[in-house]
Each structure stands twice: as structure tokens, then as C-alpha cells.
Structure 1
């Protein structure tokens, strides 16, 4: 699926007025999916990347069925490789700091909605999003 379509789906999952965050998420997931991490499942790659970046407790709270721990832009900037964040920001036409802030706001909600059973599901990301809308 094209990045814009995925961005629209993610924006819809987040609710109206957050299409920009959807586009950033689509770019991030596309970048991580292209890297081969997560066995082709970009959501799994995202969770792994954040876990390896020191945010394992927070990501587990989003995947789990309890309360979601909040995230800050500086935490995203520290956890993600700078090249990844810079690439995502360039595609969205924002600074890396703005991208980190927007991702920090959206990630807990998106990961939570895409993992309602307490684990990262297998299968197509687009299908998972459509199931949750």
C-alpha cells in the first residue's frame, strides 16, 4: 500500500485532524519495514526499535491491556536512530524535533489500538488498521 494511503488509515485510526501524525507514522513504519526488522511486520519492527532504544517499559504498556505510559519527543529522539528520525521528518516537511514530538503524541494511542489482545499481531498492517477502525 502506498505511504499516503497508510497515512490516511493511520490518521483515521487516530481520529479527525491528525492526518499529519498519520503521515509521520506511515513514513516511520515504512522506513522500519523496509529495513527488514520485525520480519516484514513494521509494527513489530517499531516495538523492537523502541525497546532497544530504552523504551521497553513504555512500549509494553501500550501493547499490554493496562494504562498507556506517555512518551515525550526527546525520548523518541533518543530512542530512534537519528537518520531514521531525520528521514521521516524530511518526508513530512518538518524538523526532526517536530517529528519526534508528533510521534510521541501519537505512538502510544496507535500501538495500543493495534494491539488490543496484549500482543503484536501478525499480518498486514493495513488489514490490522482497517479491523480497528
Structure 2
């Protein structure tokens, strides 16, 4: 699926109205970058969870997947957890600084991961299918 289409789907998932798909596009770029590794079989959500866990945000990320309240994260925490090259690429594609991208991701990721994992586990399947199931 094209990045803009994925961005629109993700924007719809987090409730962005018409013309406000900036965070959806940011998330699409992040998930697309994580999915480019070829190890995840079309589900970069698993890669995101791994990156966040390895980056020290495992407890927070698990709260987003689980069925209890979502634990908030800050932009600096996201910036520290994600590989710098990934964050830099996402920021460049979004036309903002890495710090701004991290702040926007910190706000959007808990909502998106929560919505994509309604049963308290990372589901299998393509990201596009997972998003469509939740819209």
C-alpha cells in the first residue's frame, strides 16, 4: 500500500479529520521504515514493539498493547528508544525536526498501538488489514 494511503488509514485510526493527516503520515513513515527490514512479514507493529522494548520503553509499550490504561511517554523517551537514523528519516519525511517528530510520536503511538491491539496482544497479519479491522 502506498505511504499516503497508509497515512490516511492511520490518521483515521487516531481520529484525524480531513486534511489533518500529519500524524498518520508520520506513523506510516515510522512503521514503513521498521517494516523495510523484511523480517516481520508485513507486520511492522512487531518491529515497533521490539524497538521500544530494546530502547527501554517495554513497560510503557506493553501497557498500550494490554487492556489496562495506557502509560504516557515523552518525546525525549521516544527519541532515546528509537534508532536515531529511523527518527531522523521519519522527521525528514514529515518535514520537521527529530525532536518534533519524537513529540508527535509520543502523543500518537499509545493511541495507535492500543487501537491495533484490542485483544491485548499484537495480532498477526498485514498492517493494512489490522487498521481496516479497527476502523
TM range (shorter): over 0.9
What is the aligned length?
Answer: 133
Which of 108, 115, 121 lines up with 1:113 in the alignment?
115
- Secondary structure of the 1:38 match is coil
Contact 2:42 2:127 in 1 (8 A): no
Contact 2:42 2:126 in 1 (8 A): no
Higher helix fraction: Structure 1 or Structure 2?
Answer: 1
Please give the per-residue CA displacement for 1:30-61, whole angstroms capped at 9, x wherever unaligned.
Answer: 00000234344101100111000000000000
Correspondence for 2:60: 58
Correspondence for 1:126: 128
Structure 2 stretches lacking a partner, 5+ long:
none
Question: CA RMSD for the aligned pairs?
Answer: 1.0
**Superposed structure 1 runs of 4+ greater than 3 Å apart:** 37-40
What is the alpha-carbon distance in structure 2 between the residues aligned to residue 108 and residue 39 of structure 1? 23
* Shift of residue 19, structure 1, vs aligned partner: 1.1
Which of 71, 75, 86 lines up with 1:84 in the alignment?
86
Structure 1 stretches lacking a partner, 5+ long:
none
What is the alpha-carbon distance in structure 2 between the residues aligned to residue 78 and residue 111 of structure 1? 19
Contact 1:38 1:48 in 2 (8 A): no
